Structure 1
Amino acid sequence: MERISIELGTVQETLLSTLYARALETGKKKRGLIQDPRAVEMVEQIDYDFTKFVGSPTLGASVLRTLFYDDWVRKFLSSHPGGTVVEIGAGLNTRFERVDNGRMHWVDVDLPDAMELRERFFSESERRRLVGGSVLDDSWFEVVRSLPAPYFFVSEGVLLYLDEADVRSALGQLAQGFPGSRVAFDTAGRWMVEHQGDEMFVKTVDAEYSWHCDDPEVVQRWDIGLRLTESRTLLQLPRGLRSRLPLVPRLALAGAKAFYGKKARVYMLNLFESQPSLSASNQ
């Protein structure tokens, strides 16, 4: 099999870490928290030194994050089976394959170099679109609007690399462009952003977080049209998801929760609903 060579920007390179995390977890078979055979196939095909990620504590964290977002998307689809999910910064994620109910619609959005790589492995279909674009522009909005509402936007590990002004602008245009939609994204507190280079995080790529947010309710107070509906740490798994974990990971999660306590709040997963305000619409 001919291996696929790649050229990615610094931030885009992080998609390889999350890909490897899912492949590694899949290799655990019965003990794995996620089964993603496509991730295993892609790791085998891409010409890249994935061993640089071995031992990084961010691998397990990214798997838990993926499980969280999968759970939120499944809940959305259980209420809106024909709705549309938009993956912003899709990378080489396989969420479509993991949650497909046979009726939903999907839009994968990522920067041109990342989308070029994604198109080596995934194809468009009647219910799926692949679009090159940025969370900072609205060039892809019409593609989304051509598919059935309501909409669920997932931005996993993307906004952290932007500065606050860009985050505010990107979220504001989403809220105004798609009222009544759900928007899920992660936030990192000041401490985590300032210490991201510490040895404990075993940094494996040069990309750095820029935006820090100690309290996700700050986004709601920006008055850009987003209302916070749920916010959790990686250790606060939803009950249904926690019950599906094997015994050993479940015990390890309980131990980590007891050890880290409130410190775990330096990294949060958040679910918002867009409710454009009068002041936001006048901006």
Structure 2
Amino acid sequence: MAEKRSVQLGTVQETLLLPLYGRARQTRSGRWGLIHDPKAVDMVETLDYDFDRFREGGSAAGSVLRTVMFDAWARAFLRRNPAGTIVEIGAGLNTRFERIDNGTAHWVELDLPDSMALRREFFSESPRRRMAEGSVLGDEWFATVREFPGPYLFVTEGVLFYLDRTEVEHSLRRMAEAFPGARFAFDLCGNRTIDMQHRRGPLRHVDARLAWACENPREFERCGLRLLDSQTILDLPRRVRLPLPLHLAIAVAGPLLARFSPQHSFNLYEAPERRDP
């Protein structure tokens, strides 16, 4: 048996292991799985970490549903812009490049130093793919993104609500100004999620805690972004292909889920084009 690789991650960075486990578990489900990601299975089997803590409840499946929605937006972006650039902010151990790359697109994968050190153990750069250390709250990585052609799609999964909201809004405003016409996909959590994070859902397994909630995704239009689309898990059967059992379960249990499940929205925005003076 190959030697296990150790995991040394900060409190928030540890949360990247939950979607990794979710993708691996769904892949092992075969044709009924939400996603096919054999590299996620390999990484879970390689890492020295207690993934069994994520087995209970639907937290793993929920993180994969988010990934499926963002995959759909990324594929749509690449259909329109086959040589454009996708920027993964908080890339963790995501495998979006392996799953949907079209052979001509460009990718920049950004994360904090400890997360990126772990990522580099499993992924390599190429002429169309760069990995960079940095934070969404900084701008030192903007130069790396500009080395690749636009248009740009910035994808940020499960990251922003752990950070200071004021700093997040400032960073989004700065990115919108630096990359006019770019699109931004990120998720937001509502107050019910904040209230339930200690008792239910994925965060009961880790020490990280959500810092703020957002009930209305249009709030972020004050950052200079225009909301193009906003979805919840209940909307997914109309937007992406799901295994039939899950499709039926959401359709039947939808009203109950809407009333009692944590609130989680997946949102797509666009920055305005720069106007010449």
TM range (shorter): over 0.9
Higher mean C-alpha deviation, range 259-268 or range 208-217: 259-268
Are 2:73 and 1:72 equivalent residues in the alignment?
Answer: yes
Deviation, structure 1 residue 235:
1.6
Change (3 A) 1:212 1:39: same
Change (3 A) 1:47 1:32: same
Aligned to 1:249: 246
Which 5+ residue runs of structure 2 have no aligned equivalent? none
1:216-248 Cα shifts (integer Å, max 9, x gaps): 11111x2x210101001112016351xx32221
Query: What are the residue-to-residue correspondences of 1:145-156 with 2, within 5 Å?
Result: 145-156=146-157
Q: Which amino acid aligns with 1:44?
A: E
SS in 2 for 1:235: helix
Rounded to whole Å, the distance in 1 between the matches of 2:261 and 2:37 is 27
Change (3 A) 1:237 1:199: closer
Q: Which amino acid aligns with 2:191?
A: R
Deviation, structure 1 residue 191:
2.4
Deviation, structure 1 residue 169:
1.3
Deviation, structure 1 residue 149:
0.3
Cα-Cα RMSD: 1.7
Change (3 A) 1:275 1:113: same
Change (3 A) 1:78 1:277: closer
CA contact (8 A) 2:116 2:132 kept: yes
Query: What are the residue-to-residue correspondences of 1:115-264 with 2, within 5 Å?
Result: 115-199=116-200, 203-220=204-221, 222=222, 224-237=223-236, 239=238, 241=240, 244-261=241-258
Rounded to whole Å, the distance in 1 between the matches of 2:151 and 2:261 is 32
SS in 2 for 1:113: helix
CA contact (8 A) 1:225 1:276 kept: no
Deviation, structure 1 residue 52:
1.0
Higher mean C-alpha deviation, range 198-207 or range 94-103: 198-207
CA contact (8 A) 1:172 1:225 kept: yes
Aligned to 2:4: 3
Deviation, structure 1 residue 255:
2.1
Rounded to whole Å, the distance in 1 between the matches of 2:216 and 2:208 is 23
1:126-151 Cα shifts (integer Å, max 9, x gaps): 10000010000001000101101000
Aligned to 2:39: 38
Q: Percent identity?
A: 50
Rounded to whole Å, the distance in 2 between the matches of 1:131 and 1:201 is 27
Q: Which amino acid aligns with 1:271?
A: L
Aligned to 1:12: 13
1:77-132 Cα shifts (integer Å, max 9, x gaps): 00000000000000000001111100000000000000000000000001000001
1:230-269 Cα shifts (integer Å, max 9, x gaps): 001112016351xx32221111121232322366682111
Rounded to whole Å, the distance in 1 between the matches of 2:65 and 2:174 is 29
Deviation, structure 1 residue 57:
1.9
Aligned to 2:85: 84
Aligned to 2:100: 99
Give TM-score, length-normalised by structure 2.
0.94
Deviation, structure 1 residue 32:
0.7
SS in 1 for 2:229: strand
1:45-80 Cα shifts (integer Å, max 9, x gaps): 101111111113211110100000000000000000
Rounded to whole Å, the distance in 1 between the matches of 2:192 and 2:33 is 31
SS in 2 for 1:237: helix
Aligned to 2:55: 54
Give TM-score, length-normalised by structure 1.
0.92
Change (3 A) 1:173 1:225: same
- Count of residues paired in the alignment: 274
Q: Which amino acid aligns with 1:17?
A: L
Rounded to whole Å, the distance in 1 between the matches of 2:58 and 2:198 is 13
Aligned to 2:272: 275
CA contact (8 A) 1:232 1:270 kept: yes
Q: Which amino acid aligns with 2:108?
A: V
